[in-house]
Amino acid sequence: MTLRPPAHVAGLVPYVPGKPIEEVERELGITDSVKLASNENPVGPSPLALAAAREALADVHRYPDDGGWALRQKLAAHLGFAADGIVVGAGSSELIRLAVGAYVGPGDEAVMAAPAFVVYKLAVTAAAGRPVEVPCRDFAHDLDAMLAAVTPRTRIVFVCNPNNPTGTVVTEPAFGRFVDRLPPDLLLVIDEAYIEFVERSDVPDGLAYLREARPGRPPILVLRTFSKIYGLAGLRVGYGLTTPAVAADLNRVRPPFNVSRPALAAAEAALADRAHLETTRAVTLEGRRYLAEALGRLGLEVVPSQANFLLVKTPVKGSALADALLEAGVIVRPVDGYGLPDYVRISVGTRTENERCVAALAARLRG
Ligand code: PLP
C-alpha cells in the first residue's frame, strides 16, 4: 500500500507563484530584470522596518510573542479597533486558511467570485469543502449572483476588494444592500489586501462595516496585509479584523508562533512609518496612471484598476506574451490559471520599471 492523500487533496493544483527574479536572471544570464508579476512594493521595505527586523534577529533563539500581542496593540491603537478582534498571520493567506479551517467542514460551501484570489478556492478544497465560484460580470464581483449562490451550506462568502487579478472594486450602495441580504449564519470575508491603493470614494471600508455591526448581518472578517503597501511580502505578516468570537475561533486553528520575531518587529515599525506608506502610494498611483495610458496608446485594452496592478488584454496568448517579455527581462504574470488565457497581469513598478515594461511591450507588439 502506498500513502496517498484523499481525493480532494490529490486533485489540488498547487499555487503557482510569479517567477522569482533570481530564477529568471539565472536562466537568461542577465542581472537587471524587472519583476512586475507579484503585486509587490517596488519602492522596497521601510528602512524603519528593516532596522527593527535586524534588531529582532538578536533574539531569534527565543520563540516569538505568540499571537503577536504587541503588534495587535499597535494595530488596535492605529485603527481604533479592539485588540481582541485582531488576529495576526503569516501573510493574509494564512488568515484565509484559518477562516476556512475554523468554519468549513467536508461538503460545506464557500462562495467566491471567479476570477478572484486563487487561495480561497485552494483553501476550501483542501478542507474538503466546495468552492462555489460565481463568474464576474465586466471583471467585477456580481454581487446579486453571489447572493443567489448562497445556500444553507454556505459557511463563508469571500469578497476580494479590490479584486485580484482584475483590479476592480465593489462599490456603494450595492455592497451595503448585499451585506444586508446575506444570512447571519455565515462569515463574510472582505479581503482588503490592496485597499490602500483605492482612489475612488464609493468603495466600502470593511472596517466601518465591522464597527457598525447591525443585528441580522453576518459576522465580518476584514483581511489586510503587510505584503503590499508596507513592502514586507518576504517576511509574511497579515492580519484579520473581526469580532472577538470569530477571532477566538481563528485562534483555535492557528498554529502556535505562526509569525516570526523579525516579521512582527518589522510590521510594528512599518505601521509607524507614514512617510514610506505615502511614498509607495504616490509611486503606485502615478505608475498606475502612466501604465494605463501608455498601454492604451499601444492599443491594448486595460481593465480599470484600483489596485497596484493592471489586467491587460493581449493580442496573442497571455503566456506567449509573458514569455516574450521575459526575454527582455520583464516578468509579468500570465493569468491562464484564472481562466484568462488572453490576458496578462502587470504589477505597477517604479517609473523606470514601468517604462522598461512599456518599451518591451511596444517592441514585442511591433515584432
Ligand atoms: N489577498 C489578495 C487579494 C492577494 O492578492 C494576496 C496576495 O497576492 C493576498 C491576499 C495574500 O497576501 P499575503 O499572504 O502576502 O498577505
Q: 10-48: per-residue pLDDT in tens?
A: 988 887 777 778 887 888 888 889 999 999 999 999 999
Query: Exposed, middle or buried by CB within 10 Å (0-12, 13-18, 19+), for 65?
Result: middle
Do 206 and 175 form a contact (C-beta atoms < 8 A)? no
- At 30 the pLDDT is 83
Pick from 225, 232, 260, 309 the residue to mutate for probing ligand 1's pocket: most ligand atoms within 8 Å of its CB. Answer: 225
What number is the average pLDDT over the span 346-361?
Answer: 98
> 329 CA distance to ligand 1 centroid (A)?
24
Give yes or no for residue 130 having a pLDDT over 90: yes
Distance 58 CA to ligand 1 centre (A): 29
Tell me the pLDDT tens digit for each residue of 256-273. 999 999 999 999 999 999
User: What is the pTM (predicted TM-score) of this model?
Assistant: 0.97
Identify which of 64, 115, 114 has the alpha carbon closest to the alpha carbon of residue 89: 64
Give strand pairing partners of 225.
Answer: 238
What confidence tier does 182 reach under pLDDT thresholds 50, 70, 90?
Answer: very high
For residue 93, report the distance from its CA to the centre of ligand 1, in Å. 6
Task: Report the pLDDT averaged over residues 177-197.
Answer: 98
Q: Tell whether the model's pLDDT for residue 180 goes beyond 90.
A: yes
Name the DSSP letter for residue 115: S
Contact between 234 and 256 (Cβ < 8 Å) = no
Ligand 1 neighbours (beta carbon < 6 A): 39, 91-93, 117, 160, 164, 191, 193, 225, 227, 233, 238
- For residue 225, give the ligand 1 atom closest to its CA: 16
Q: Is the sign of the CA dihedral 34, 38, 39, 45 positive or negative? A: negative
In this prediction, residue 43 carries a pLDDT of 97
CA pair distance 61, 131, nearest whole angstrom: 41
Amino acid at 132: V
pLDDT confidence of residue 264: 98
The pLDDT value given to residue 361 = 97
- Which of 118, 228, 237 to probe ligand 1 with, by most ligand atoms within 8 A of CB? 228
Read off the pLDDT band of 102 (50, 70, 90): very high
Confidence at residue 347, expressed as pLDDT on a 0 to 100 scale: 98
Distance 80 CA to ligand 1 centre (A): 23
Q: Which residue carries 489596485 as its cell?
A: 307
Ligand 1 midpoint to CA 92 (Å)? 6
pLDDT digits (tens, 9 = 90+) for 231-262: 999 999 999 999 999 999 999 999 999 999 99
Nearest to 96 by CA among 123, 78, 128: 123
**Ligand 1 mean position, distance from CA 142 (Å):** 21
Q: Give the C-alpha separation, 115 to 364, whole Å.
A: 27
pLDDT at 261: 98
Contacting residues for 255 by C-beta, under 8 A, at least 6 apart: none
Closest ligand 1 atom, residue 162 Cα: 3
**39, 119, 237: which to mutate for ligand 1, most atoms within 8 A of CB?**
119
Q: Are strands 340-347 and 309-313 parallel, antiparallel or unpaired?
A: antiparallel
- Res 213: pLDDT: 81
Most distant CA pair in the chain, distance: 60
b/e map 190-215, b = 16+ CB within 10 Å: bbbbbbbbbeeeebbebbebbeeeee
Residue 174: pLDDT band (50, 70, 90) is very high
Residues 6+ positions from 185 with CB-CB distance below 8 Å: 218
Q: Which atom of ligand 1 is nearest to the CA of 95?
A: 14
